[in-house]
Structure formats: C-alpha cells, structure tokens
C-alpha cells in the first residue's frame, strides 16, 4: 500500500512546481515509509510514497512505460489479488514485463484495455494514469472504497491525493468548511456522505467510480454498483458457494513478499479468517501464523454486559489461538495512551473521527507494525451479512433515519442556535437519508420484510461500512501497516447482496448463512457465539479524562469550537453521570465518553488545520 498525490493543469510550466509536488508527496510519508518518487511532465505532476509488499526491489513509482512516442505513467495505492491471472493473459497478448509487481500489471492492463480494464480487476485500489495517446488522466477507485481518493477541481486544475492533507498543501486548496461540511461533522459524523470531503473545495471519488480529465474538462462515471436480481440457490448451495468463495478470497489476500498476520478478536468473522489463514499456511508450508488482539488495562474489572456487547473477548481469543496454534500477541493499552492518541488519530483522518475507537486502532496498528507489514481483518461481514443489532430490531428498522445514529434531536441540540439555523442539521440529515434510500436498486415483485431488509443492507454497505473502512485505512496506513479486508471482495458482496433474508438468517440467527458456511472451519462454540463488536475501554477513568478535556476547552475563550456548540448544554451533560455515560450517540460503541472525545477532536481539528468557517 502507498500514498499517491498530484495535480494536472493544461497551461504553464509544471517543472517550476517541483518543490510543491515534493511537499504534497511528503505529507503522505506515513503511508509509504519505504520510498518516494515524483514525476513531472506537462501537464502532469505525480507523487508517490511507497510501502513495499510485492517485489520490493523493482516496484518503485511513479512507474513510466514508453512505447515508441507513447508515454504512460501511473501512481497507484492498492493490491490486485488477480494480478497473476491478468499477467498471464497479457503475456499471451504479447506484452512483456520487467517486474513482479502488480503496479506494472495494472498499467499494462490499462494500455491493453483502456478504462475498461476496471472490469477485470479484483482488488483494492486508487490510482491515476497519464495517457499521452488520449491526452488524459484516468483516475479510479475500487468498488467498495477500501482505498481512499480525494480530489479538488479549481480554476481548471485537478488536484488529487490519498488523503485531504496532501491536497491542502496545494495553494489553490484551502481548509474552508461551509454549512454542508459542518452538517457532515455534527449530524452525520463520524460517518460521511459518500463523495463528500467535508472541506468546501475537496470531494471524494465515490467507490466504484472512475474519472477522466482532459482538455475538455472533468467527467465522472460509475463502473460498478450493486444490482438486485433473484437468488436461485437454496441454503445448502448458498453455504457451499460462500465457503469456497471466502476460502479463495482469503488465500488470494495472503499473497505477499513480506510477513502477513491476522487480527483476532475471538468472534466469528476474525476467527474464520484466522482459521482459513492457518489452513493455507499449513498446506503451503509457510510456518506459523501470527495473530494479534487488543484490550485495555482493567477492562475485565469494568466490563458490563449489554445488548450491543454481550460478552468479553479475552476468553474467546485464548480459545481460538490455542485451537489454531497461532503465535498470539496480546496488546493492551491504558487510558492515558488513548487520550493522548486522540489528536494523532485526528491528524491521520484530517477530520474528527471515531474518538477512542480510532485512537485504540492507531495504537494497535503501531504495535502490529513492529512484527508485520500486512494484516488481514474482518471488517464488512456485519454490513453484508446483517450482523448488527439494527438489522434485527423493529424500532431501529423503522426509525426513518440511519440506524447507527438514532438520536438526531439530541445531536442537533448540542449546537449553538446560530449554527442550527444556518446548517439546518435535521433537514440535512433527512435529505441525506432520503438520497440513500432512493439509490437502493429494487427487485421487481419484492415487498414487505425482504424489501425492508434490502434497504437496510444498502444503507450499511454504502453508508456505514465506508466509515469503518476509512478508519481502518487511515489508522493502519498512519503507521505504514497494510490491512486487507477479505469480506469486501466484490464477488462476495455481489453474491450476498441478493441472498434472501430468510436464508441470511438461517437457523434463526444473525449471519446464520455465514455460520452455516463455516461449519467444520470453526469450533461450534465459537461458530455460534453471540456477536461482540470491536473492543473499547470501559474504564471510568477514560470518561473522566475526556470530560475534563472538554471542560478545559469550554473555559478557553479562544477555542474555535465554542461558537459552534451550546456550551451550557455540554456542561449540563458533563455534570450528569447517567446522561454522559449512556447517550445513544453513534453506532454500537460510541456513547457519552466518545461524544466528549469527539468534541475534543473537533476543537483540535479546527485549531490545528486553521479551518475557516464560511
């Protein structure tokens, strides 16, 4: 994995901007600690930071291919999991290769098939290609948005990058946030509306989209989207197909020239990936798999079971790593570390994020990086198979809003009257929810519960899952760790999308069809364990620390946060133990402590990035 950036303009001499390109590229050094490169050839300036995973000796970027008078150049962040098959086909078509890396495979695929090469790719990616034949730059992002790509189109100049920070180095892109951006932060956040970059001048290329920039202007188009069609397989056939597909996906994603490990929480999703990895390593003679888990000091003392988090993970992690014989690494953090990492995690996102859920992942990835360069992780299984509580509770299914954020009135009430009047948060939220529901590809004749569950699945895949994928990308790449997410394989998502809800809940269980598919892969007690989300700290010291931090901010008259919020309401929450610890703020994991931590992140972001509100 890597960091990419650049800019394209059709007039002027870009060689005069070489230092600007270096500055943009170096802002992404954390994404690629193993090397850097820049390339300027009017009208293009491309920059790249490299994390070496495949063919470390020969995969430097930007990669340039000359064919007589033709020039093709690429900067690329990602992994192609079908690179070997593509390479074989391209060799049969007469192409020769100088490296073993998938960057060259991707560039040659474009040379052979043009923009239609996207249809052939299996992987996670964001890239830009200069094509001198067509005199255009072609940019694209993977189907579900595992890898990020932001852009700004101002005064005829296109600026792009893996993260907003690279764009903000360019003099034409300013850290300005308007009404929509504030609504994203305060009523949608820490999620984001697809395509919205929050900053006024920054947009995000949506998953499954490509973009062509030439002298005629900028054109975006969708090359992949979910399609609804009848599911013909019965439960047994479905489970068998899923088992084979998941095994193929995991084995493809274990290919690497550097060490690969697995994140293990003891739950269904991560245990399945770890088990399949161990089986593959045994069959291919690659030795012992390393697994990693995260927990918090004194969490066992303070943990209280509830419907979103029914049990502690530690006993199940021990159960699985002993069952599989992995070399397991127990990672543990204390409250001061989590609080201290809030600011750093904000810098990694360039926005306020998931508070301690981000901070703990950043710290976790930093420890993993000491022993591995690549990890596999279980994100996306709950979104595509229907694992979250809001798939199974009528009041959340019928809430009329995003089910991970069911207290919009409370959230809007945290804002100052002036900001509420300007950004109209409830109206904005309603519009974004309506937009999402309107996008759902309907199936003819589908009504009632199945139609309702299709809507819920779509919301989760296109609105909630990107939040977790953003988090995973920024926190892992923030320390130069590549994390692969097998459940996001587009073949898997395409197939599961159309499985009827009655089959998805086989055995009257959440993710029932996945459990059935994994029979014989996992022990029964793990296979049928109740879902538990990513672990967070339950230590009351954390709540006390972030409360104190926010109260200190409220006492600072120079804080840029103060004009945006109802300070009296925040103080009231801080003084109410029940309200501050049990707020239904966001998702399964984020309640009162995370609200205070998020406000602290907003304060830091506004100040650190010198954000202008207008």
State the DSSP H helix or E strand holding residue 292, giving kind and residue range, or none if neither: strand 290-296
pLDDT band at 58 (very low <50, low <70, confident <90, very high): low
Are the C-beta atoms of residues 12 and 20 closer than 8 Å to each other?
no
Over residues 120-173, the pLDDT tens digits come to 999 999 999 999 999 999 999 999 999 999 999 999 999 999 999 999 999 999
Q: What share of the chain is helix, strand, coil (3-state, %, to 5)?
A: 45, 20, 35
pLDDT band at 57 (very low <50, low <70, confident <90, very high): low
Are the C-beta atoms of residues 52 and 97 closer than 8 Å to each other?
no
Over residues 448-469, the pLDDT tens digits come to 899 999 999 999 999 999 999 9
Res 583: pLDDT: 79
Over residues 18-42, the pLDDT tens digits come to 999 999 999 999 999 888 999 999 9
Whose structure tokens read 């992942």? 361
Over residues 76-121, the pLDDT tens digits come to 999 999 999 999 999 999 999 999 999 999 999 999 999 999 999 9
Res 54: pLDDT: 62
| pLDDT at 371 exceeding the cut of 60 | yes
Res 329: pLDDT: 97
DSSP assignment letter at 188? I
Over residues 517-526, the pLDDT tens digits come to 999 999 999 9
Are the C-beta atoms of residues 284 and 228 closer than 8 Å to each other?
no
| pLDDT at 307 exceeding the cut of 60 | no
Are the C-beta atoms of residues 190 and 468 closer than 8 Å to each other?
no
pLDDT band at 301 (very low <50, low <70, confident <90, very high): low
Span of 45-49, 585-589, 594-598 with lowest mean pLDDT: 585-589
pLDDT band at 302 (very low <50, low <70, confident <90, very high): low
| pLDDT at 429 exceeding the cut of 90 | yes
* Distances, alpha carbon 73 to alpha carbons 18, 44, 102, 211, 243, in Å: 17, 9, 14, 16, 39
Mean pLDDT of 297-326: 76
Q: b/e per residue, 49-84, with b = 16+ CB within 10 A?
A: bbbbbbebeebbbbbebeeeeeebbbbbbbbbbebe
Tell me what the pLDDT averaged over the chain comes to: 93
Res 56: pLDDT: 62
Over residues 472-507, the pLDDT tens digits come to 999 999 999 999 999 999 999 999 999 999 999 999
Q: Is 343 helix (H, G, I), strand (E, B) or coil?
A: helix
Q: What is the length of the chain?
A: 614
**Please, how many CA atoms are within 13 Å of residue 583, restricted to the half-sphere of its CB?**
25
Mean pLDDT of 66-75: 94
CB under 8 Å to 587, separation ≥6 — which residues? 404, 405, 464
Over residues 373-406, the pLDDT tens digits come to 999 999 999 999 999 999 999 999 999 999 999 8
Res 86: pLDDT: 98
Mean pLDDT of 433-447: 95
Span of 215-224, 314-323, 527-536 with lowest mean pLDDT: 527-536
Q: Is 117 a catalytic residue?
A: no
Q: Please pick, among 2, 44, 117, 261, the residue that the annotation labels catalytic.
A: 2
């Amino acid at each position: 994995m890597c960091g990419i950036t650049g800019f394209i303009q059709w007039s002027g001499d870009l060689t005069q901007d070489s230092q600007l390109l270096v500055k943009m590229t170096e802002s992404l050094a954390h994404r690629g600690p193993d090397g850097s490169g820049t390339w300027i050839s009017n009208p293009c300036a491309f920059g790249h930071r490299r994390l070496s995973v495949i063919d470390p000796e020969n995969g430097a970027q930007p990669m340039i291919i000359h064919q007589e008078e033709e020039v093709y150049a690429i900067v690329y962040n990602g992994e192609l999991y079908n690179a070997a098959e593509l390479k074989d086909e391209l060799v049969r078509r007469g192409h020769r290769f100088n490296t073993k890396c998938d960057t060259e495979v991707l560039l040659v695929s474009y040379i052979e098939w043009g923009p239609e090469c996207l249809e052939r790719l299996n992987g996670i990616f964001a890239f830009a290609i200069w094509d001198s034949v067509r005199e255009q730059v072609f940019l694209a992002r993977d189907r579900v948005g595992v890898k990020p790509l932001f852009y700004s189109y101002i005064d005829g100049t296109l600026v792009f990058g893996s993260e907003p920070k690279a764009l903000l180095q360019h003099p034409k892109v300013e850290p300005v946030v308007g009404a929509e951006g504030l609504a994203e932060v305060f009523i949608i956040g820490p999620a984001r509306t697809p395509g919205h970059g929050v900053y006024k001048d920054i947009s995000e290329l949506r998953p499954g989209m490509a973009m062509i920039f030439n002298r005629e202007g900028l054109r975006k188009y969708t090359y992949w989207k979910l399609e609804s069609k009848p599911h013909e397989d019965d439960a047994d056939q479905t489970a068998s197909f899923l088992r084979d597909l998941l095994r193929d996906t995991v084995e493809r994603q274990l290919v690497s020239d550097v060490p690969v490990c697995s994140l293990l929480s003891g739950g269904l999703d991560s245990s399945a990936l770890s088990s399949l990895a161990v089986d593959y390593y045994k069959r291919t003679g690659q030795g012992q798999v390393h697994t990693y888990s995260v927990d918090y000091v004194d969490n066992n003392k303070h943990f209280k079971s509830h419907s979103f988090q029914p049990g502690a993970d530690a006993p199940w992690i021990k159960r699985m790593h002993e069952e599989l014989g992995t070399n397991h690494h127990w990672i543990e953090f204390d409250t001061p570390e989590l609080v201290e990492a809030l600011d750093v995690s904000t810098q990694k996102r360039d926005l306020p994020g998931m508070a301690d859920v981000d901070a703990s992942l950043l710290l976790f990835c930093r420890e993993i990086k000491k022993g591995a360069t690549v990890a596999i992780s279980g994100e996306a299984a709950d979104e595509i198979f229907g694992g979250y509580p809001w798939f199974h509770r009528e009041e959340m299914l019928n809430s009329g809003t995003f089910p991970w954020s069911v207290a919009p009135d409370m959230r809007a009430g945290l804002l100052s009257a002036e900001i509420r009047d300007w950004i109209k948060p409830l109206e904005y939220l309603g519009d974004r929810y309506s937009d999402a529901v309107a996008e759902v590809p309907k199936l003819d004749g589908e009504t009632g519960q199945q139609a309702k569950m299709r809507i819920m699945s779509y919301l989760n895949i296109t609105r909630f899952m990107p939040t977790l994928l953003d988090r995973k990308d920024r926190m892992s790449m923030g320390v130069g760790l590549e994390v692969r997410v097998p459940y996001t394989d587009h073949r898997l998502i395409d197939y599961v999308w159309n499985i009827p809800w009655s089959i998805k809940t086989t055995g009257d269980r959440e993710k029932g069809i996945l459990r059935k598919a994994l029979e014989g892969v996992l022990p029964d007690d793990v296979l049928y364990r109740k879902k538990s989300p990513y672990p967070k700290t339950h230590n009351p010291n954390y709540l006390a620390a972030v409360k104190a931090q926010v109260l200190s901010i409220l006492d600072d008259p120079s804080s840029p946060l103060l004009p945006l919020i109802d300070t009296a309401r925040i103080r009231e929450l801080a003084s109410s133990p029940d309200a501050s610890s049990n707020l239904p703020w966001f998702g399964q994991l984020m309640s009162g402590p995370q609200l205070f931590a998020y406000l602290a992140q907003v304060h830091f972001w506004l100040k650190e990035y010198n954000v202008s509100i207008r």
